[in-house]
Amino acid sequence: MLRRLTIRDFVLVDRLELDFQEGFGTLTGETGAGKSILVDALAFALGERADAGLVRAGSERAEVTAEFAVAGSSAAEWLVDHDLDSEGSLLLRRLVDANGRSRAYLNGSPVTVQQLREVAERLVDIHGQHAHQSLLRSEAQRVLLDSHARLDPLAADVVAAWRHWREAKTRLDAATDGVEALAAEREQLSWQLSELEALGFSNEEWLTLNDDHRRLAHAASLVEGAQFSLQLLAEGDAACEAQVATVANRLEGLAEYDPELSEVASLLQSAQAELAEAISALRRYASRVDLDPRRLTELEHRLEAVLDCSRKFRCSPDELPALLARCQQRLAVIVDAADLAGLAERVTTAGKQYEKLARRLSAGRAQAAEALGREVSLVMQQLSLGGGRFDVALLPIEGGNACGLEQIEFRIAGLAGTESRSLAKVASGGELSRISLAIQVVTSQAARVPTLIFDEVDVGIGGGVAEVVGRLLRELGAERQVLCVTHLPQVAARANWQWLVSKSSEAGQVRSRVVAIAGDARVDEIARMLGGIEMTTITRQHAREMLELP
């Protein structure tokens, strides 16, 4: 739900912070006070078109920030899918500069307007003279019907079956159209595989080959170097080991006369021990170094075979194993594709599975469409839409698509003639708002958007119908958060909470103000809506009675 809305320098609003509550709330005030500006500000934050005209005169930019509680909602899932941390809340911020450039942020991360709209569709639905009239979109109508009928899981299965069927058909078409090309590719891959498999090469062998070849190729130098080092250190007439030992012994004896030489003697003794260890290691190494010309020749032949193969396939030696794996995978695909009968059988099986699921979905939709049409039509009669009938048409799609065998279209009959026509083509603005209200009341348990805003749902109605609108909105507020911009006291009085919008002029600039009202202030506002500028004791009493209605 919407928790807070902060507006800065937007049209007539300099700075405004509104904390929203649960349930049903109304926004009231004199005509021209700026009630719709709040709805426009929220619509702007949700991704509506931005232009420089939204910036308050004399300001550098307009900014709207909306905070939502999203724990457990589809919006929270969207945030996770897009790596935008939420921790149960969403901070949506949008700015537009005086030059018309706009920016958008979700939880502090910059996003595109398209991303903003995607998450906004999961947060708020604005009904009235605004672009957020989702019920006019065929896709939204289908989703609403499926949700109301609890058909979402089956609809998802239909999508998966459709994709599986199309993939199988694509593979069959490709195999049928490219039989000769696939045969040629198969022959080439078979030859490549025979070459690579015969080589039997791996990346680990490449490393070992190079190390062994480098050692054997320099074996003579290694042996000579080891022998030379041993001669100087231990085996020659002037061997270093013996001379160090002599010096260490001599200094140790002299240390009796001067203790300062003890430290030098100790260091030489340590050096003598390390020298002895080094000589021992050299002797072991010299005994292991192998002069094996035959093994060196074998290594050189193997290296040449690997290099020849890499040149043949135009890749580096360490890429040969990966090339082998790719060839094996591709050949497996081609062998599978060559089985046209098997592919055709898969297409048939997948098509039957799709049709089976899609027909089940169609049956569920037909049953739900009839019930939804009947229930919405009943509510419409209460909303001064007498004679109007709501229908849900299932329009067949030849061959079907990912969404099933039919397109969903909401239709209205009886408002502009008797013929049933598309909702988008028949209903006027005020009628659309009331029809949307009727649909939302009926489908409130299944609808996914947690916050609903109704702008001008009271156009062209009054009296008893207005009371019905207020009652229906209050019932809807028991399920979700509802905000209604209204001129009708019958609607405002049924709200759980109420805001008053006023306009003032300060220093030559017009500003809109919004305050929460309760108690006597709310009685006065309802009385004003009932009786105009002059409020009498009777209108105030009437206002109190309206507010006390259950």
Percent of the chain with pLDDT over 90: 23
Answer with the residue of higher pLDDT: 344 or 231.
Answer: 344
Across the range 416-438, mean pLDDT stands at 72
pLDDT at 277 over 60: yes
131 — pLDDT class (breaks 50, 70, 90): very low
In this structure, of 159-163, 223-227, 390-394, 522-526, the range with the lowest mean pLDDT score is 223-227
At residue 130, the pLDDT reads 45
Percent of the chain with pLDDT over 70: 85
Answer with the residue of higher pLDDT: 154 or 386.
Answer: 154
Across the range 378-384, mean pLDDT stands at 84
Domain boundaries, the chain: 184-336
In this structure, of 47-61, 117-131, 220-234, the range with the lowest mean pLDDT score is 220-234
At residue 362, the pLDDT reads 96
Please, what's the b/e burial string for 426-437 (b: 16 or more CB within 10 A of its CB; e: otherwise)?
bbeebbbbbbbb
Signed CA dihedral, 459, 460, 461, 462: sign only: positive
132 — pLDDT class (breaks 50, 70, 90): very low
User: Average pLDDT, whole number, for the chain?
Assistant: 82
Answer with the residue of higher pLDDT: 226 or 143.
Answer: 143
At residue 133, the pLDDT reads 58
At residue 422, the pLDDT reads 85
39 — pLDDT class (breaks 50, 70, 90): confident
At residue 251, the pLDDT reads 80
| CA 36 – CA 29 distance, rounded (Å) | 11
At residue 447, the pLDDT reads 62
At residue 367, the pLDDT reads 95
In this structure, of 33-42, 126-135, 317-326, 509-518, the range with the lowest mean pLDDT score is 126-135
In this structure, of 58-67, 69-78, 166-175, 286-295, the range with the lowest mean pLDDT score is 286-295
At residue 418, the pLDDT reads 63
| CA 539 – CA 118 distance, rounded (Å) | 46
pLDDT at 429 over 70: no
194 — pLDDT class (breaks 50, 70, 90): confident
pLDDT at 338 over 70: no
| CA 422 – CA 424 distance, rounded (Å) | 5
At residue 22, the pLDDT reads 93
Tokens of residue 285, six digits: 């190494």
pLDDT at 379 over 80: yes
List helix spans (H) across 82-151: 113-120, 138-148
Q: At what angle do helices 293-312 and 179-199 cross, to 10 degrees?
A: 170
CB contact set of 286 (below 8 Å; sequence gap of 6+): 223, 226, 227, 230
| CA 128 – CA 396 distance, rounded (Å) | 30
